[in-house]
Structure 1
Amino acid sequence: MDHQLNERLQLLLQQQRAAFRAEPYPTLATRRDRLERVRALVQKHGDAFAKAVDADFGHRSVHETRLTELFTAEAAVNHALRNLASWMKVRRISTALHFLPGHNRLMPQPLGVVGVISPWNYPIYLALTPAVAAMAAGNRVIVKPSELTPRCSELLAQTVGEFFAPEEFQVVTGDAKMAAAFARLPFDHLFFTGSTAVGRHVAQAAAANLTPVTLELGGKSPVIVLSDANLSVTAERLAFSKLLNAGQTCVAPDYILCPRRMLPELAKAILAAMRRFYPTLADNPDYSAIVSPRHHQRLLDLLAEAEQGGAKLLRSHEEELDPHERKLMPTLVLNAEPEMGVMREELFGPILPLLPYDKLDQAIHIVQQGERPLALYIFGHDEKAQQRILRETHAGGVTINDCIWHLGQEDQPFGGVGASGQGHYHGEWGFRTFSKEKPVFSNPMMAGTRLFYPPYGKVFEGLLGVLRKLS
């Protein structure tokens, strides 16, 4: 079976590679046509995708799917269409004086065939946006979506097949064995979004073929609340960003560092904001479920361990939730210890630890001690403190006085650092990730470089001395 699976995947790769060799530099019109077909796919089947995601999760807010997946995928396409002509231009690059009248150019060239392994938490957006960037750059694309959202994955395969020839863009579905075999293929670039643990395996598999990889991972994204923060606005924005998709977002705030005197008031305000957004949970179409029984149980176990270890749990609502429905009670965790799972694992659920600090040094030290996260959030108006945090901590991206929204900036790169990933995409950054920026130097017939040919002597020494002074 594994042999047949590998053969099938190799055949798909060879099919796309042959098509790329026949068209190694697609025109602007061809690339625009492919991007427009992605947009048409989303527009035509948006309602079906929302229903498929809802069914896969057990329940997910249709409004959240429309905002975070369908709108954002369309926005990525529209941004690429507006800017693609300028991205594709061969750029004139400055040339050192001693190489004149030669000149430098930088030519963005498609890599070939790009593989994308996408996750379950945003199964449309995180499958299509890397594909959009890769196709804008002129590549062929094969996507392997998550097996945890099977209905959405099957629909993605069907709809991509409706709008694209298999040698242009194709989706393959399957379980973890399929994903492992997929990662071993000799792609020209492999793009993975998922957990840090799985990302390590993907990088190791790709290394056997020297396949370049972009890893969009996760981590424990911290929030630092400064002493001058507006607590009501801070609480409202934290509640929204934490409960979006029930916390199943790679850039969701994972824990809060708050001045000790402000922590009780902030916790109270966050709980109040959660109740305003979601007056009820069980029968609320706006509040999403946890994707699978295993993930739901993992979150319950983390809370139980924290409570048994002496942490205080503050639950947002009084109502009882049916575990079979997999909706999890939003819960703040106070007095969490570093060794607890809630402080060691990326939560990916509606759980939010709050930790006190007495001096900003302590908050910065806690962030520095952990692995570098995908996102970091600062609430407050003290610009000196903001700049200190920005200089002394590392994160894939930062939003100040809010959370998550840096992810939506198509004019900024998005990506991790260290354990939260490597490489970038979004907008021109995605185009460049999936391109080889080929340097080209053109030397005229009457070039001075011939003066450096042997036999060497006084002329060579004199010219080299001049160059050393000019360089």
Structure 2
Amino acid sequence: MQQTLKTIFDIQKDQYQSTGKLAVQERIQYLKKLKICIQQQEFSIFEALAKDLRKSQFEAAVTEVYFIYSEIDFAIKNLRRWSRPLRAKATLSSIFSKNRIIYEPKGNCLIISPWNYPFQLTLGPLISAVAAGNTVMIKPSEYSIHTSDIIAKIVAAAFPPSLVYCALGDQDVSTTLLTFPFNHIFFTGSTQVGQIVMRAASAHLSSVTLELGGKSPVLIADNANLKKTAEKVAWGKLLNAGQTCIAPDYVLVHENQEQQFIDYFQAAVQDLFYTPTGDINTDSYAKIINSRHLSRLHGLVHDAKSLGAQIAWKGNGDSQDTLAPIILRDIPTESRIMQEEIFGPILPIVTYSTLDEALRLIQDRPKPLALYIFSDNSKTIDHILENTTSGGVCVNDVILHVSNPNLPFGGVNQSGMGSSHGYFGFKAFSHERSIMYQSRIAFSKFIYPPYTKKERLLKWLKRLM
């Protein structure tokens, strides 16, 4: 296996070095072909996502497949503009020079993707990498095996292996790939594995983009519309059964509104994810990826309860692959569920007495991938924004900021490094190369030795500073 992967890596390296940079028109053609190959496999993609995560065709279309169509179309539409050299101003030291910034591909790139949105989070970075003109090796998750198989078929149909290659297998494949001297590594997954990827990248000084996660809070100001807020949080929290990196992880609500929010949240969950007879709607509610992850979620609840947390509400419908929604209250800060990213349909409720108390609770934690603010007062919103930091923010809604390719998507510190989507994904896989074309009239001679004759020039320069 290692020898095969190394052979592919070397072929891609030779391809990049021998044929030069892929022309913009060639990149566009490959992106068009990728879209056609996806369209040809669309039904199989829906089937695979249903097998791996029990995603309905509608959810799979909106959050995975059509999302990728949009990314491809956006890249094709804008790639020529993104690729143009940028003008840069000259300075006194090079007053007559011509200065440009060009975007060139980083070279050999590795994409390691997760299982929760296995199609979107593999193909999204691939679109950016191809748009930037790189060669790419992909390692999709072994947990979402059916989707990974379809991805491999699509990649093989759309690209020669000298340009893009999909490596299937378990974590040993990832470990092997991380020993190769890639020019750039794009990883989406947990913070803990992200640290492993970054350590491996440091051996070759590879640049990295890390799309991680963390505990994305929902801060509900006491002037927010609780009913609308609860419905939006319920949808965002339980989308893909909570297995979303920007899912609301915990809710901060005023102590006088806690029970009211819980009641509204419970009603919204019943409307959105349950049938009229009270059964969980498996056409709308995804399954947990595997028994190991389900066991981890049960362990989080057990740990919280053992430390004094209370179950405020729990829906019915648990099974060997399903965890019904759970609301927890009175959660000790030292519990695992308040330290780890939940990645499941469990919602802790944390109360506050003043807004500044809520802000301190956010400030004391690692920087989250997303922050959700609910308020009808612009001054309150501005105060929260000024006193928090996060990868991204969505005001009076959840999740949807990820759908705008004009916005950079990415975390900060523990929640990630670098940005993706649209132009920002193109930049992530590009090197901004500076070029100065010096004029025939060069003033650089004035700073050449001998320096003993430069005292008057030094005084003149000092006046300009």
SS of 1:14's equivalent? helix
Q: Aligned equivalents of 1:456 and 1:242: distance in 2?
A: 67
The answer (yes or no) to whether the contact 1:98–1:467 under 8 Å persists in 2 is no
The answer (yes or no) to whether the contact 1:275–1:316 under 8 Å persists in 2 is no
Aligned counterpart, 1:444: 439
Q: Aligned equivalents of 2:464 and 2:37: distance in 1?
A: 57
Unaligned 5+ residue runs, structure 2? none
Q: Partner amino acid for 2:19? A: E
Match of 1:238 among 233, 239, 244: 233
Q: Partner amino acid for 2:68? A: A
Gap change, CA 1:8 and 1:446, over 3 Å in 2: same
Q: Partner amino acid for 1:53? A: L
Aligned counterpart, 1:321: 318
* Per-residue Cα deviation, 1:401-459 (whole angstroms, up to 9, x for no partner): 0111111121111111111111111111111111111111111122121222223333x
Aligned counterpart, 1:9: 5
Aligned counterpart, 1:27: 23
How far is the alpha carbon of 1:23 from its aligned partner? 2.9
Match of 2:427 among 403, 408, 432: 432
Q: Partner amino acid for 2:233? A: L
Q: Aligned equivalents of 2:350 and 2:248: distance in 1?
A: 13
SS of 1:15's equivalent? helix
Are 2:137 and 1:142 equivalent residues in the alignment? yes
Aligned length: 462
Are 2:328 and 1:333 equivalent residues in the alignment? yes
SS of 1:106's equivalent? strand
SS of 2:312's equivalent? strand
Q: Aligned equivalents of 2:185 and 2:367: distance in 1?
A: 22
Are 2:394 and 1:405 equivalent residues in the alignment? no
Normalised to the residue count of structure 1, the TM-score between the two structures is: 0.95
How far is the alpha carbon of 1:461 from its aligned partner? 2.4
Are 2:458 and 1:461 equivalent residues in the alignment? no
SS of 1:349's equivalent? coil
Q: Aligned equivalents of 2:292 and 2:124: distance in 1?
A: 28
How far is the alpha carbon of 1:11 from its aligned partner? 1.1
Percent identity, please.
37
Q: Aligned equivalents of 2:127 and 2:337: distance in 1?
A: 35
How far is the alpha carbon of 1:462 from its aligned partner? 2.2
Structure 1 stretches (4+) deviating beyond 4 angstroms? none
Q: Aligned equivalents of 1:345 and 1:10: distance in 2?
A: 36
Match of 2:290 among 289, 292, 308: 292
Matches within 5 A, 1:133-282: 133-280=128-275, 281-282=279-280
Are 2:39 and 1:38 equivalent residues in the alignment? no
Match of 1:64 among 59, 66, 78: 59
Q: Aligned equivalents of 1:13 and 1:388: distance in 2?
A: 50
CA-atom RMSD in angstroms: 1.4
Normalised to the residue count of structure 2, the TM-score between the two structures is: 0.97
Matches within 5 A, 1:327-406: 327-406=322-401
Q: Partner amino acid for 2:463? A: K
SS of 1:457's equivalent? helix
How far is the alpha carbon of 1:42 from its aligned partner? 2.1
Q: Partner amino acid for 1:165? A: P
Gap change, CA 1:22 and 1:339, over 3 Å in 2: same
Aligned counterpart, 1:128: 123
Q: Partner amino acid for 2:332? A: E
Are 2:11 and 1:18 equivalent residues in the alignment? no
Unaligned 5+ residue runs, structure 1? none
Q: Partner amino acid for 2:67? A: T
Gap change, CA 1:397 and 1:163, over 3 Å in 2: same
Q: Aligned equivalents of 1:287 and 1:309: distance in 2?
A: 30
The answer (yes or no) to whether the contact 1:424–1:433 under 8 Å persists in 2 is yes
